[in-house]
């Protein structure tokens, strides 16, 4: 699946998130193709979901893909739970 991560600049929290999501994907045997982008670049790009810090994704609305906010970028458990919940929601459709 294709996951975009986003933050204000596209190389701080978004890159940290992307590294974690790719690691989590690997652990669960899910192939994650990803890119970290700033907020203005993320809109309209084809992807399965957008992840970002909860404070930044509040600014993203009117998107056709799920947007998932993470409160604590250093909390791998929060990231893993939200990522796996997203994956489960996709397979149920």
| Interface ranges with another protein (CB under 8 A) | 7-13, 15-16, 19-20, 36, 53-56, 71-76
Q: Shortest approach of another protein to residue 91 CB, angstroms?
A: 29
User: Quick one: 7 or 50, whose CB is closer to another protein?
Assistant: 7
User: Quick one: 49 or 73, whose CB is closer to another protein?
Assistant: 73
Q: Shortest approach of another protein to residue 51 CB, angstroms?
A: 13
- Contact (CB, 8 A) for 70 and 52: yes
User: Quick one: 9 or 45, whose CB is closer to another protein?
Assistant: 9
Residue 55: name the closest of 13, 11, 2, 4 by CA.
13
Q: Shortest approach of another protein to residue 55 CB, angstroms?
A: 4
Burial class (CB in 10 A: 0-12, 13-18, 19+), 93: exposed
């Amino acid at each position: 699946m294709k996951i975009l991560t986003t933050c204000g600049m596209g190389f701080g929290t978004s890159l940290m998130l992307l590294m974690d999501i790719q690691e989590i994907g690997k652990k669960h045997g899910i192939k994650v193709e990803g890119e970290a982008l700033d907020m203005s670049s993320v809109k309209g790009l084809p992807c399965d979901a957008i992840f970002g810090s909860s404070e930044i994704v509040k600014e993203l609305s009117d998107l056709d893909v799920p947007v998932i906010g993470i409160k604590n970028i250093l909390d791998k458990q929060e990231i893993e739970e939200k990522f796996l919940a997203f994956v489960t929601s996709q397979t149920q459709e």
